[in-house]
Structure 1
Amino acid sequence: MYDRERIFLSSPHMSGYEQQYINDAFEKNWIAPLGENVDHFESEVAEYVCCKGAVALSSGTAAIHLALILLGVERDDIVFCSSLTFIASANPILYQGATPVFIDSEPESWNMSPAALERALKEYSAKGNLPKAVIVVNLYGQSADYDEIKKLCDYYGVPIVEDAAESLGATYKGKKSGTLGKFGIFSFNGNKIITTSGGGMLISDDIEKLEKARFYATQARDQAIHYQHSQLGYNYRLSNVLAGIGRGQLRVLDARVSKKREIFNIYKQQLSDIEGIQFMPEATYGQTTRWLTAMTIDPQKIAVNHADFVGYLNQYNIESRPVWKPLHLQPLFKDTDYYYHDEDVSACLFHQGLCLPSDTKMTVETQLDVIKRLRDILK
């Protein structure tokens, strides 16, 4: 192994503001879930993205799960979901005993294909079995094409859950990512553009539904002087200490987006002369955060695959990763035959795609060293 500190894809990057909010939680002894940091973090995120409310939770997965509960998803219901994504987007469908139907990507944005979605909605409408929800994932910091997707979903009366776990800070036609569906989801996992160590957020303009989410997230405790529970609940609330970290992180979110985009621009400038590689495109309808810089490798022009890249870079203590393995190819869903696609774009992206180190703590000199290693293997 190369003798230096590891270069990560995307590691936590503290701003220095976090400590004041953490200290405040300790001084007031608000260590448990709930407290001033939680309340302020919710209102500050809602203000940043221009929505009416937010609920701070233990993870983005918890937020998706609560969104499905609030939409009435139950056993044997159908839920459509992007295929090219991390499995956390789809696991909550299984929590509810529902059946996932996976939708392929489009090459223009790598996100859900409106054409594939339209075909799936037509077929399920004809069967009288429309989905209870469509989970649309914003991949690697870029929003999907919501005008087309929303037009289809509105026509069939199907609500959208916007999985913006990777795209906080991105925009779609001037609107903030996460605000384009009935519910929006953010993740504050350690590798996200801002982090609370572990955590997530459910956002919406439906304040009544968000209050119900708070109820479910605190073990569905009824209003009584004793502990009384009439419905199934969950331990999903974010701690006041972690919310303090989030408040400090939120203050530098725009700076983190700028740095991520700068990292992408350096990769593009230094590697675009190499025939056979293409970077994830930025759709014309908005601005991506470039949470991770991702590129594809044409096997007809370059005789190494993404596994070769990952292994080679690892020798130099550089972390890289293939693009997400599509959910319709995951062993967990091997018995699921429901997948709508045109040319199986998501599978092609998986086999040819590579995510490069996009850590905001990475110096330009360090990034140029990564680029040198990439050029070496490409030769």
Structure 2
Amino acid sequence: MRIYLSRPHMSGHEELRVAEAFASNFVAPLGPQLDAFEAKITEYLGADVHCIGLCSGSAALHLALRIAGVGRGDEVWISSMTFAGGIFPVNYLGAKPRFFDLSAESWTIDTEILGDELAKAAKNNRLPKAIVPTDLYGQSVAIDTLEALAAQYDVRLILDSAESLGATYTDGRKAGSGGDAAILSFNGNKIITTSGGGMLVTRHKAWADEARFLATQARDPAPHYEHSTLGYNYRLSNICAAIGLGQMEVLDDRVARRREIFARYKLALEAPGISFMPEPEDHHSTRWLTALTIDPNETGSTREDIRLMLLEHQIESRPLWKPMHIQPLYAGSDYHGSGVDEQIFDHGLCLPSGSDMSNEQQDEVIERIKQLLASRK
């Protein structure tokens, strides 16, 4: 049987919620299940925020950037190691990305480099319109430092929390509740899923109102279809929201299981040449995917050796995100850092981490990796 990297894991509550939507005939984009899902996320985050259910995390980022005033020629400073959907919306608006390296201690955006560059940019009157740091693989960013920098330089802070619902910041707040806005993803491979979907979370009511307006084709109040600005068909389906309601029943359980999977991998495999993604003190990562690095000089095996071996045995693994500044699409883009993200990409691998993976399946992954490593010594 194939072992997947991270597949959807249903709880049993979803069918009831979907049945309620069908029974009420709310199968159109909006409805009570969507309202309830937004309210449930708001309650879970435990903060004074507004939640807008959307068709994807990328749609959420697109709206957040537009509402933040990002436009043609503006700069957006962003983590280089991220998924493409976490950067493309910058280009949709005609803005220019400036990429930043990771901290080796957290694998999230290096706030020292960011702070230095903000100081230089302020002197030269070229501050960015927005900063978009990524909560990588479920690890939340250094929120206090980032919010302080954003306030100091009067720059909008939009958090890419697509991979970290269920994590906490160092001050105890839930990931996804900070900054001017945050984006969440409910894609099929995330901690919880709506099959496809996302959410914009913001503490600004005006931002939330504008996001709802823009996401429903920017239809002005009128008995006919009246439009005075460009809008999008970005709202989350009521049926998909019903799935999300069922998934929220088990979010904390899913996070706990993924953390358990990470801990089992780390205990079994950590050795000279094999290092796991760090978790800074007072952080609580979702461990969405178990990420590690393999040093071929010490282990005799590369990341690709292990990935291809696992694939031969129907076990899915994946390299880490390739940093955007070395992607062909962004060749020549501005980048600040020493290449920590490049090194992590060169040697990094994500192991199967789905919350429905059995201990027996995980043991198979572990044993096959151990056998390969032993054969190379």
Match of 1:335 among 326, 332, 346: 332
Deviations 1:55-81 (A, max 9, x none): 000000000000001101000001000
State how far apart, in whole Å, the 1-side matches of 2:285 and 2:82 are.
16
Q: Does residue 277 of the first structure (1) align with residue 269 of the second (2)?
A: no
Residue in structure 1 matched with residue 97 of structure 2 by the alignment: 100
CA positional deviation for 1:32: 1.1
RMSD: 0.9
Aligned residues with identical type, % of pairs: 49
Residue in structure 2 matched with residue 205 of structure 1 by the alignment: 203
For structure 2, list consecutive stretches of 5 or more residues without a partner in the other structure.
Answer: none
Matches within 5 A, 1:257-336: 257-272=255-270, 274-336=271-333
Greater CA deviation, 154-163 or 119-128?
A: 119-128
2:277 and 2:291 in contact (8 A); partners too: yes
State how far apart, in whole Å, the 2-side matches of 1:186 and 1:210 are.
14
1:119 and 1:340 in contact (8 A); partners too: no
Match of 1:240 among 238, 241, 244: 238
Deviations 1:274-326 (A, max 9, x none): 32101101111310010000111123202221122111100000000111100
2:295 and 2:301 in contact (8 A); partners too: no
Residue in structure 1 matched with residue 366 of structure 2 by the alignment: 371
State how far apart, in whole Å, the 1-side matches of 2:14 and 2:198 are.
17
Task: Describe the SS at the equivalent of 2:133.
Answer: strand
Residue in structure 1 matched with residue 130 of structure 2 by the alignment: 133
Task: Describe the SS at the equivalent of 2:227.
Answer: coil
Residue in structure 1 matched with residue 177 of structure 2 by the alignment: 179
Supply the AA of the counterpart residue of 1:241: I
Residue in structure 2 matched with residue 28 of structure 1 by the alignment: 24
Supply the AA of the counterpart residue of 1:348: Q
Match of 2:35 among 12, 33, 39: 39
CA positional deviation for 1:42: 0.4
State how far apart, in whole Å, the 1-side matches of 2:180 and 2:192 are.
23
State how far apart, in whole Å, the 2-side matches of 1:123 and 1:101 are.
14
- TM norm structure 1: 0.97
Residue in structure 2 matched with residue 48 of structure 1 by the alignment: 44
Task: Describe the SS at the equivalent of 1:301.
Answer: helix
Task: Describe the SS at the equivalent of 2:298.
Answer: coil
Task: Describe the SS at the equivalent of 2:222.
Answer: coil
List, as ranges, runs of 4+ consecutive aligned residues in structure 1 with deviation greater than 3 Å: none
State how far apart, in whole Å, the 2-side matches of 1:299 and 1:81 are.
30
State how far apart, in whole Å, the 1-side matches of 2:155 and 2:281 are.
26
Q: Does residue 154 of the first structure (1) align with residue 151 of the second (2)?
A: yes
What is the count of residue pairs matched by the alignment? 372
Residue in structure 2 matched with residue 224 of structure 1 by the alignment: 222
CA positional deviation for 1:225: 0.2
1:38 and 1:239 in contact (8 A); partners too: yes
CA positional deviation for 1:352: 1.0
Greater CA deviation, 290-299 or 215-224?
A: 290-299
Greater CA deviation, 297-306 or 325-334?
A: 297-306
Matches within 5 A, 1:165-176: 165-172=162-169, 173-176=171-174
CA positional deviation for 1:12: 0.2
Supply the AA of the counterpart residue of 2:221: Q
Residue in structure 1 matched with residue 142 of structure 2 by the alignment: 145
Residue in structure 2 matched with residue 123 of structure 1 by the alignment: 120
Supply the AA of the counterpart residue of 2:31: G
